[in-house]
Structure 1
Amino acid sequence: MAVLALILFGIYFGIAFVIRTVLQLRRTGDSGFRGLSGRPGSTRWWAGILFALALLAGLLGPVAALAGLDPIDPLEHTAIATVGGAAAVAGIIATVITQYAMGASWRVGVDATETTTLIITGPFGLVRNPVFTAMAITGIGLALLTPNLIALAGIVVLLIALQLQVRVVEEPYLLATHGATYRDYAAATGRFLPGIGRLTPVSPRTARSS
């Protein structure tokens, strides 16, 4: 299963980052990469660092398995590996669909000085961050294929990184950029899963007093 995990990781990384970057460059002349946010050591900065570490763990998990690192016994089961493989494939497909839905607004990181189009249709009508949801599904699936300590630690790091990236980097940016439009959208649409993590709408009284 480690070889399959490596193959799927390569496909995912190639599609989600390499191919997507090339397409973005051809379409807009811009790679879409904005790099780390915040000063070194800040929460915003750590969000990007943890995300990079999670990607590295996604690679090192199956590499370590091939090198002889034992899986966690309760998770070493054919059924679990089958579910993991299916989840990874589903996550890769979802990544393609959700990134395509972003169009020219696709970014890795945030530049507070630019304004991108707020996408609220398609998969973004179900959840506000479907690309990150697809990424989490892919990562969990890959970890279940080689459920060793490195792979499982990578999932924990990935989930923390996604929460930080959304809560302290992207949502403040979107609120500052799109204001009431984004808040209304966020009040009706879940953060990563439908109906979960919606923002509290601004009451008319609060709006009048602000």
Structure 2
Amino acid sequence: MNARGAAAVALTVYLMAVVVMFGIRSWAHRRHTGSTGFRGVSGPAGSSGWWGGRLFALALLLGAAGPALALARALLPPANLPGALAWVGLLVAVAAFVVVAAAQSGMGASWRIGVDATERTDLVTTGLFAVARNPIFTAMAIALAGIVLMVPTAVTLAALVALVLAVQLQVRAVEEPYLLTTHGAAYAAYAARVGRFVPGIGRLRSADTAVR
């Protein structure tokens, strides 16, 4: 696969995934619950949650801009990279996007984008959530890493970095405190046995899971 072909495929896969992950998922969620599931950015301007939301939006934009710029020949990847790298990236991206969709479906009525501190949803600990507490974010990062392999430019790499920073801020500063407050000992026990983004890593200690 040549650089321009890889960029075209990457852009197509990425945009299709965004439509499925946010558009179709939100539409299906509204049909079943009456709500789109979007809760917006948490926290005042300049807070960790606020920065997490901005970085997440930036990552989504850069994820599309990288392949688009390469397709327009405005920012081409290095010419000496093996063509097989793009095929590996495609397989990684598609597989990871499928995992994102599966994890979103596994959340059922509890699926949300953002946090409403006044809202209580069921705590999901089964399926992919028995492997890691945030499988959606993990799979999104892996998928974007696949896009980077397909279109290895500064813009796609910046998208991946922005996404990783965004999910770290969102999970640590917004979602975990909310879940501890809302679900108390149930979330504390879950977080103590299941890793944050990958199995076994990022499990919370008793001092971290004190009910707030």
Q: TM-score range by the shorter chain?
A: over 0.9
Q: Is the 8 A contact 1:72 1:149 kept in 2?
A: no
Cα pair distance change 1:180/1:72, threshold 3 Å? farther
Shift of 1:151: 0.5
Partners in 1 of 2:79 and 2:181 — Cα distance? 47
Cα pair distance change 1:176/1:73, threshold 3 Å? farther
Corresponding residue for residue 71 of structure 1: 77
Displacement over 3 Å in runs of 4+? none
Partners in 1 of 2:165 and 2:78 — Cα distance? 21
Extract unaligned runs of 5+ from structure 1.
Answer: none
Cα pair distance change 1:73/1:186, threshold 3 Å? farther
Aligned pair count reads 205
Extract unaligned runs of 5+ from structure 2.
Answer: 1-5
Corresponding residue for residue 196 of structure 1: 201
Shift of 1:70: 2.2
Alignment of 1:85-104 (within 5 A): 85-104=90-109
TM-score scaled to structure 2, two decimals? 0.92
TM-score scaled to structure 1, two decimals? 0.93
Partners in 2 of 1:98 and 1:123 — Cα distance? 6
User: In the alignment, residue 204 of structure 2 is paired with which amino acid?
Assistant: L
Give 3-state SS (helix, strand or coil) of 1:37's partner: coil
Alignment of 1:18-97 (within 5 A): 18-68=23-73, 69-72=75-78, 76-97=81-102
Match among 174, 186, 196 for residue 179 of structure 2: 174
Corresponding residue for residue 12 of structure 1: 17
Shift of 1:30: 0.3
Cα pair distance change 1:73/1:188, threshold 3 Å? farther
Give 3-state SS (helix, strand or coil) of 1:17's partner: helix
**Superimposed CA distance per residue, residues 90-117 of structure 1 (whole angstroms, 9 cap, x where no aligned partner):** 1111011101100000000000000000
User: Cα RMSD over matched residues?
Assistant: 1.7
Say whether residues 1:115 and 2:114 are aligned partners: no
Corresponding residue for residue 140 of structure 2: 135
Give 3-state SS (helix, strand or coil) of 2:184's partner: helix
Partners in 2 of 1:191 and 1:108 — Cα distance? 18
